[in-house]
Amino acid sequence: MTGTDMAAHMQADPRHDWSVDEIEALFALPFNDLIFRAQQAHRRHFDPNAVQLSTLLSIKTGGCPEDCKYCPQSARYNTEVERELLMAKEEVLKAARAARARGATRFCMGAAWREPKGRAFEAVLEMVREVKAMGMEACATLGMLTPEQARRLKEAGLDYYNHNLDTDPEYYREIISTRTYEDRLDTLRHVREAGLSVCCGGIVGMGESRRNRAGMIAQLARMRPHPESVPINLLVKTPGTPVAEDERFADELDPFEFIRTIAVARITMPASHVRLSAGRQGMSEEMQALCFLAGANSIFYGEKLLTTGNQDAEQDMRLFEKLGIRPEERVEETPSSRRLVNA
């Protein structure tokens, strides 16, 4: 595709017909050209100097039966993560109030389940109701959902449901065997059909190729509508997990390749919040600044992401001050009820 063709496509956004070849061509652009196009897309839809702050809390940690090779919460791996029961509601609400006081506008609750069941699911519904009563956006990531569970979460007031694809369909089998790619897409369809907004992204740095990264972005960018939030995670290797022990995953992702991934996500999904997610604790200020320049406009804010360390909140505020960035104010949105389609 020529530069003129690409520019013409950008003016017709948002598109839902991106090919993997087209996206791979974006990755291959000269870095300055790629960042320029990402900035153009970003400024058409967002304030370029505002970043959304979200807080993520693990409300049920460890003991997950899945075999995701990156996850320290899997019961199959010998990591330092201890299995814990579902947190009491008041503990969760205390954390939500603290997050709100620090400036977070969205509170996400994560549970290490294959799927929610029984009384535990009923308890999560009550947590969602209480978080919404605080005036915050409520988000959850609880594993696979049935259509009925998605409907009940919506009725409880949930705004967003997170369910990542992790990688592209071809590389997925190298990372997970206990849940199929179609299982993930089914849950996303149930979420959309219930009228919830979608938070869906992936992880890079797991030994995948650039072609795989382009394939993952293509899966996301073909959704109708695009996910409202797109978390891009940089792999954090936890001792005891296969990605930390197996030589196949030994190579570290080049920082510029990660920044390119952010930029390509911004260009292909221009109206979505692109979240600079896991791995940020190990990034320099300069790398994070380039990610914001490439179109990232959301971060997880607080000391921990589920079981993984995160950058200190005060450190974030100091970086924001250096960059002239301010926290994004909450804007009420009407979640789309359109059916999610993955071409």
Q: Catalytic positions, please?
A: 64, 68, 71, 108, 139, 199, 275
Closest CA to 62 of 71, 50, 51, 53: 71
Is residue 40 packed enough to be buried (19+ CB in 10 Å), middle (13-18) or exposed (0-12)?
middle
Q: By the 8 A CB rule, do 141 and 108 touch?
A: yes
Q: By the 8 A CB rule, do 56 and 108 touch?
A: yes
DSSP assignments along 207-237, one per residue: S--HHHHHHHHHHHHTSSSPPSEEEEEEP--
The number of beta carbons lying within 10 Å of the beta carbon of residue 314 is: 9
Closest CA to 67 of 307, 245, 241: 241
In order of 73, 184, 251, 261, the CA distances from 205 in angstroms are 19, 20, 8, 11
SS3 320: helix
Cis peptide bond upstream of 14, omega within 30: yes
Phi, psi of 107 (to 5 degrees): -120, 120
Phi, psi of 24 (to 5 degrees): -65, -35
HSE of 9, CA atoms in CB hemisphere, 13 A: 18
Which helix (H) or strand (E) segment holds residue 152: the answer is: helix 147-156
Residue pointed to by tokens 């899945």: 66
Give per-residue burial for 158-185: e unless 16+ CB within 10 Å, then b: bbbbbbbbbbbbebbebbbeebebebbb
- The rounded distance, in Å, linking the Cα atoms of 149 and 155 is 10
